[in-house]
Amino acid sequence: PTGSLLYPYGPHQGDETNPKHDDGTSNEIALSVPFTFYGKSYQNAFVNNNGVISFDEPVRQYTPDPFPLADGQSFVAPYWADVDNVLGGDIFYRQTTNPALLADISQDITKYFPESPFTATWALVATWDQVAYYGSTSKKGNTFQAVLTTDSKMFYIILNYWDIQWTTGTASDGDAETGLGGTPAHAGFNSGDETNFYNIPGSQTEAIINITTTSNVKVPGRWVFRVDKFQVTGVDLPKKNDCWL
């Protein structure tokens, strides 16, 4: 869509398309550039239908749990909820070194983190396009995207929320007609070490439907995080020269 937050996606961009399976997942994606997430380097990832990109193992769980997770799974949850792409929508992904796309990503990240100029050399772009919820009797669909990117030293994740119309599938106690109620979607990061995690405000509450209006980089619907070492953006930490340190 014009003026969209979303980076280009779809089969014409060379994307792979996930199979149409409830609680399905991509094939294992061998990352052409290992991705450092909370101090650990990963060579493999999965784009899971239920709104999660996971490292090393797929995630089929459909009702989200709050972070930190007890099972030590490390993953990014752009919008973890019970997607059913059999009922509607597609899940796309690609690894890319396309110069035009990397230039756009680099420009965006450098704008949000001006103290560390960034020139992307690789990205994994995953897009959930108009995906339906499990048990839906409506035509509601959610469109959102996650981008993992690096210059080989710094590692970032961009989460883009373009159109969010539902929060909950019926197996998570959501309403079949509205896609609301029950245990709503969760957005954030789980490092797997039980210490480092981040829950985007509104996660697992009805307020998550408004994630297209929230941001930590002053762009409604976009959240950006540096993830090689844990840093929460938008929170001013005391500097060393402040009087109480």
1 pLDDT band (50/70/90 cuts)?
A: very low
Q: Which domain holds residue 158?
A: 12-226
User: With pLDDT > 70 as the criterion, what percentage of the chain qualifies?
Assistant: 92
Q: Using alpha carbons, select from 90, 89, 18, 16 the residue that is nearest to residue 60.
A: 18
Residue 11, pLDDT above cutoff 80: yes
How many C-beta atoms surround the C-beta of residue 103 within 10 A?
Answer: 12
Looking at the domain assignment, is residue 123 inside a domain? yes
Looking at the domain assignment, is residue 218 inside a domain? yes
Torsion angles phi and psi, residue 137, rounded to 5 = -115, 15
Alpha-carbon span 99 to 97, nearest angstrom:
6
195 pLDDT band (50/70/90 cuts)?
A: confident
Looking at the domain assignment, is residue 244 inside a domain? no
Q: What is the pLDDT of residues 143-186, one digit of tens each?
A: 999 999 999 999 999 999 999 999 999 999 999 999 999 999 99
Residue 124 tokens, joined:
């994994």
Looking at the domain assignment, is residue 2 inside a domain? no
Alpha-carbon span 221 to 110, nearest angstrom:
18
207 pLDDT band (50/70/90 cuts)?
A: very high
Check residue 193 and give its pLDDT. Answer: 87
Looking at the domain assignment, is residue 233 inside a domain? no
Looking at the domain assignment, is residue 245 inside a domain? no
Q: What is the pLDDT of residues 134-145, one digit of tens each?
A: 999 999 999 999
Looking at the domain assignment, is residue 165 inside a domain? yes
Query: How many structural domains compose the chain?
Result: 1
Residues 6 or more apart whose Cβ sits within 8 Å of residue 137: 176, 177
Strands 16-17 and 29-37: unpaired
Check residue 238 and give its pLDDT. Answer: 40
Residue 3, pLDDT above cutoff 80: no
Looking at the domain assignment, is residue 236 inside a domain? no
